[in-house]
Structure 1
C-alpha cells in the first residue's frame, strides 16, 4: 500500500476514538457572519462545542479556499496552494465540517464542493475565517457530549491537527465515537477496527481528511499523493466499511466515488464521527 514518510517521529498510537453521545441538530446560519463564527456559534447556542455538520446549498461571499500543494521544504509532506478568491457569490453544494477548538477558540475544519459565479464546479479546503455567509441558511448534523475535537501540535506530521479527547462528565449511554486516524493506514480498515474495539458491527460514518492517492471500486485511480477529502456517504454494515467520498487533488480536479477497501492510506489525518444505532 502507498505511504508517505512524515517529517517527525512515528506515533505509537495510530488511531484514537472517544465514546460520546451524538445529538442530532438542525440549526440556522445567519448571513453576514464568517463561516467559522456562524457554524461554531450555532452549535454553541445549541449547547455543543464540538461535532460534525453538513452544509448544503449555502451561499457565501466572499469565498476563500485552498487545495493541496507540494510542500515547499522537508518540514511537511504536503502543503496548501495559494488562496483561491473567486469574485461574487459562491454556492457550497455540499461540505463536511468538523467543529472543535483551536488555541482555546471555536474552530472548524471544512472540505467541500462549490459552484463559482462562472459556473465552474470546484472543491477544496475552505478558509473559515475569510469566508462569509451571504444568505440565511440551515445546517444539520450532530453535537457531541462527552468527547470533543481539540487542535494540538502533532510532532509526526508537524501540523496542528484535531485530536479526539474526552470531557467530564463522560456521556451517559454513548452512541457514537469522536475519532482521528493517523497517516499511512487504510481508512476503511481503521474504521472497522474502531467499531470492533467498541463491540459494534454497524454505524454511519461522517468526516473529513486526506488520502495518499485514491483507489475507487470501479478501478479509477487518482495519483495525487495529497488530496482533500470528505465523506458523502459512509457506513459500516456487517463489520465492513463502505465510504463514498468527494475529493480534490494537486491538479484541482474533482473526483467522486466509492473507496476500494484496503488500498487507501491516510495522508495527514482523518477526523470522524462514527454514529451507532441506539
Structure 2
C-alpha cells in the first residue's frame, strides 16, 4: 500500500536528521574520454572493464545513442512505508530501445563498480524516462560512449541518514599521481536545495569563466522558463547536454524529467523553482567555451 502523493512541499518529510552540509563537494580532475564497448555484453561489465584500465576513481558518461536489448527499469513513485518521502515503481520492462538521451554516474557500491543511470527513450513511438537497472542492460549495437573520467574525487554509495536511502556520496581520493590539478568538482545535493541556485554556488569553487554541468537526480516539482511547470512533487530527472554556467554568471539548466504519473516534462529551469527531492548527483567541469 503506497502513501498518498504529496500535494505541497511541506508534505514531504524525510525521516532522518538534517545533514548540515547541504552542498557537499570534492575537487578533482575530469578528463574527457570516449570508448566503444563491445556488442552483446552487459553494459556494466563493459564500463567496469574500461574504467579499471584507466585508473579513474569515478566517471560521468553520456550513454545517448546506445542500443539495448530488452531491459528493466523503474519510475518515481509514492512511498511504500511510513518513513521514506518517496520510492520507486514496480519493475517495468522494455523489449529493447535506442537511448535518445542518457546519463550514467559511475562509482563504487560495496566495493564493486556501479552505475546510476537515468535515460530517455522511445518505445513503440511513446517517450519514456526512467531509472535503468544496470544489471539488466545488454548492448545490442556498439556505439561510442563519451564523457569524463574523474581522478581525485569519487562517488561512493553509502547510507544517507537524512533520507534513509543508500545514495552516492562524494569522497576525496588520494591519487598515485604526484599532483592532480583540479579542473572540476562533483557534488550530491541535499533535499530541498534548489538545483539552479546550487549549481551557481558550487561554480564559485572553480576558477573559470565557463562551466559545463552533467548529472541526474530527483526534484520536488519544477518551474520552467520555456514550458509548463511540473506540478508533481516526486520525479526523476536528467540534465541535458547543453547545461552551462556562463562567464556572466548566467546559468542555463535544461532538463528532462518524469513525474510519478508518468508525465514527461522538458525545459530550462527557473532559478529558485526546482527543489531537490532526494538528491542530485552533479559534475561541474571547467570549459574552454566562453
Whether TM-score is above 0.5 comes out as: yes
In the other structure, the counterpart of 1:267 is: 277
Matching residue within 123, 129, 136 for 1:123: 129
2: distance between equivalents of 1:40 and 1:188?
31
Give the Cα separation in 1 of the matches to 2:113 and 2:47: 9
Gaps in structure 2 of 5+ consecutive residues: 1-7
Q: Is the 8 A contact 1:207 1:270 kept in 2?
A: yes
Aligned residues: 276
Where 1:134 maps in the other structure, the secondary structure is: strand
**Shift, 1:200, TM fit:** 4.4
Q: Distance in 2 between matches of 1:33 and 1:254?
A: 30
After the TM superposition, which residues 167-178 of structure 1 pair with which residues of structure 2 at under 5 Å, given as runs? Answer: 167-169=173-175, 172-178=180-186
Candidates 92, 116, 119, aligned match of 2:99: 92
Question: 1:38 deviation in Å?
Answer: 2.1
Tell me how far apart the structure 1 counterparts of residues 233 and 249 of structure 2 sit (CA, whole Å).
28
Q: Which has the higher strand share?
A: 1
> Which position in structure 2 is the counterpart of 1:164?
170
TM-score computed with the length of structure 2 as normaliser: 0.90
| Residue pair 1:242, 1:261 contacting (<8 A) in 2 also | no
Q: Corresponding residue for 1:148? A: 154
Is 1:60 aligned to 2:60, yes or no? no
State the TM-score, normalized to the length of structure 1.
Answer: 0.94
> Which whole-Å deviations, capped at 9, do the CAs of 1:216-255 have from their partners, x for residues lacking one?
1135111111111010021111223220001111111221
Q: Which residue is equivalent to 2:200?
A: 192
2:35 aligned with 1:27: yes
Which of 77, 85, 97 aligns to 2:85? It is: 77
Contact 2:216 2:281 in 1 (8 A): yes
Question: 1: CA distance between counterparts of 2:141 and 2:33?
Answer: 20
The answer for the alignment partner of 2:235 in structure 1 is 227
- 1:236 and 2:245 equivalent? yes
Deviation at 1:138, TM superposition (A): 1.4
Return the alpha-carbon distance in structure 2 between the equivalents of residues 49 and 145 of structure 1: 5
Unaligned runs of 5+ in 1: none
In structure 2, C-alpha distance between the alignment counterparts of 1:195 and 1:244, rounded to whole Å: 17
Q: Confirm or deny: 8 A CA contact 2:208 2:287 kept in the other structure.
A: no
Structure 1 Cα separation of the partners of residues 165 and 13 of structure 2: 14
